[in-house]
A and B are shown apart, each in its own frame.
Chain A
Amino acid sequence: MKIRMKYKMTFEEADRLIERYYEGLTSGEEERELQQFLSQPGLPERYEPEQALFGYFNHKKEKRHISLIPYKRWASVAAVVVLVLVGSQVFFIQPQRNYAYVDGKKITNVHEIKSQALASLSDLSSSTDEVEEGFKNINDNELVEQQLNVFSGLEK
C-alpha cells in the first residue's frame, strides 16, 4: 500500500513563491500551492495581506459561473433553474437574462432582441429634434423645457 506524504511547504519556499507571484511569474499550479499554504491557520502576521488577497480571489473563483439569487425571486423565475451543490452550500444557476417579449411572445434570439432594443431607443429619439441643444447642458443638469408645436393633423 502506498502512503502519500502530504507535502508541506516551508516558509522559505512560500516566501519565494510569493515574491514570484508579485512579479507575475507564478503559474496557475504554483498559485494553487500558495493558496493551500495560505489557508492554514496560525500563520505569522506578515502573511495577512496575501491571505486576504488569495482568500478573496478564491471566493470569486467559486462564484464565477453561478450567481446566488434569493429564494423568493428564484421561485418567480420562469426559465429553467438548476440546483448545484458546491461543498456544503447550495447555489442556483441563474441563466443570463437576455430576452424580449413581443405581444406576449418570448424571443430568445440575441440578434432579434438587440434589434428590438435599438428600435426602442430610436422610438425615444425620433421625436426629439431639439436634442442637441438640451444635451449640451447636461453637465450642469439644467432642466430644459421646450415648447414644440405639435403637428396634430388638426391644424391646417
Chain B
Amino acid sequence: MSQERFKAEILPIRERLFHIAQRILVEEQEAEDAVQEVLLKLWHTRDSLDKYDSPAAFATTVTKNHCLDRLKIKNRQDSLDESYYTRAGTDNPYLQLERKNTEEILQKIIENLPALQQAIIKMKDIDEYEVEEIAEITGTKVEAVRVNLSRARKKVREEYIKWTRV
C-alpha cells in the first residue's frame, strides 16, 4: 500500500481506533499512545495491507489486539502476583546487561523503552524519518512526537550511563 493510500484509508479512521483503544485502556493518554503505536505498526507493514479486503477493518482488529496486549502487560505489572516476577526473574532484561558490550547494552535499553518511545526513536534515529513525517503517519502534532523522542533519547542516555559506570 502506498503512502498516499495509507494516509487516505487508515488515517481517517484514527478516531474510531482511538475509541476502541479508550474502551479497552480507559485512560486517555494511554489510548492515545496505543493508537500511535498501532499506526506505526500498520505503517511498517503497509506493503501487505493491500491483501486485506478491508484495511480499515483489519486496522480495528490490530488496535483491539494491541490494546488487549497492553492491558495484559499493565495488569501484570500492577498485580502483586509473585509468580510472575519470579518467573520473569531469569528474563529480567537488565540482569543480562552486565557482561555485554556497548551495542548489546544499547539494544537492550532501547528494547525496554515504552512501545511508543521505542517506535519513534527507531523511526527517527535509524530509519531517518523527520519528526514532521512521523507526526503525519501517527496523526499527531509535531510537538507530541518531539516530546516522546526527547523522553526516549534521555532515557537511553540515562540507562546507558547507569549500566556502564559500574
Contact = CB atoms under 8 A, between A and B. Distances in A.
Interface of A: 21-25, 27-28, 31, 49-50, 52-53, 55-57, 59-61, 64, 110-111, 114
Contact of B125 (A27, A57, A111): A57
Contact of A56 (B102, B127, B148, B149): B102
A25 B126 contact: no
Contacts of B164: 52
A59 B161 CA distance: 20
Interface in B147-162: 147-150, 153-154, 156-157, 160-161
B146 interface: yes
B82 interface: no
A24 B166 CA distance: 28
B150 A23 contact: yes
B54 interface: no
B86 interface: no
B102 A61 contact: no
Q: Is the interface of A mostly helix, strand, loop or mixed?
A: helix
Contacts of A52: 102, 106, 160, 164
A64 to B, nearest CB: 7
A39 to B, nearest CB: 15
Contacts of B51: 110-111, 114
B160 A22 contact: no
> Which of A23, A24, A50, A52: most chain B CB closer than 10 A?
A24
Given A24-B145, A57-B126, 14 more contacts: A23-B146, A23-B150, A24-B148, A24-B153, A25-B146, A27-B130, A28-B128, A49-B157, A50-B157, A53-B160, A56-B103, A56-B106, A57-B125, A59-B103
A119 B111 CA distance: 33
Given A49-B161, A59-B103, A21 B128 contact: no
A22 B106 contact: no
A97 to B, nearest CB: 13
17 contacts: A22-B154, A23-B146, A24-B146, A24-B148, A24-B150, A25-B146, A49-B160, A52-B102, A52-B106, A52-B164, A53-B153, A53-B160, A56-B102, A56-B103, A56-B106, A61-B128, A111-B51
B126 A64 contact: yes
B40 interface: no
Contacts of A50: 157
Given A22-B150, A23-B150, A110-B51, A53 B157 contact: yes
